[in-house]
Amino acid sequence: MAHATTVITFDGFSSNNADIAAIAGFGDNIVANSPSFSVSQGLLVSGTPGISLDWLTAGWDTYTGWNGRGSVAQIDFNGIPTISILFTPTPDSAVVVKAFDLDEWAGGGAGSINWNVSGSSSGILASGNWTKTNAGGRDTIALPASSAGLLGEPVTLSFTLLSGASSYFALDNLTFDQVPEPSSAMLAGLGLGAAIMRRRRHSA
């Protein structure tokens, strides 16, 4: 069965240029669908109840109707070289950043962003450069399964502007998993306990 997943769609935004970091708890411990979040069901658990998010630095802004492609998190590099999100799991969970969309508004010139996912202990887990022409557009960046952090390890997703207009970029459909799921760990423990009980009965 697939892991429980959260997708941050940002569709609940109703205004532009509000600081996402100032929205209390945005993206924390998501377990149910809402206008800005879509969750999938895993093994007896939905979403990512053991992961909290910090929208580090200024530059994460709300934006509705982004170049005709709906609501997004604008990545406003104006005076800020790198903009990041910190994912912090519970000690018995790990973060897996699975995918995200990068978008450039048309007319900003040829633009390029470096993105990377890094663990506080593991170092860089995945990275790459994304480039668009003056026409703008959107692409989905899918990460390999090997980009998972360690149990209890904070993971940072960072974006660095390489070229282009500083306010013409956006993030959408940020997708991440929590592994192992709490229920998986619980069931594994129950299975181990049952095996021990069976051994005791056989030896009695």
54: domain CATH number is 2.60.120
Computed over every residue of the chain, the mean pLDDT equals: 89
- Tens of pLDDT, residues 146-186: 899 999 999 999 999 999 999 999 999 999 999 985 544 44
| 14 closest CA partner among 90, 71, 86 | 71
| pLDDT(190) > 60 | no
What is the count of structural domains for the chain?
1
Residue type at 108 in one-letter notation = G
| pLDDT(85) > 90 | yes
Residues 65 and 26: their CA atoms lie apart, in Å, by 20
- Tens of pLDDT, residues 43-70: 767 899 999 999 997 899 999 999 999 9
For residue 102, what are the contacts with CB-CB under 8 A and spacing of at least 6? 113, 115, 130, 138, 139, 141, 169, 170, 171
Provide the domain limits for residue 166.
Answer: 5-203
| pLDDT(198) > 50 | no
What's the pTM? 0.87
Average pLDDT over residues 5-17: 97
Residues 35 and 168: their CA atoms lie apart, in Å, by 24
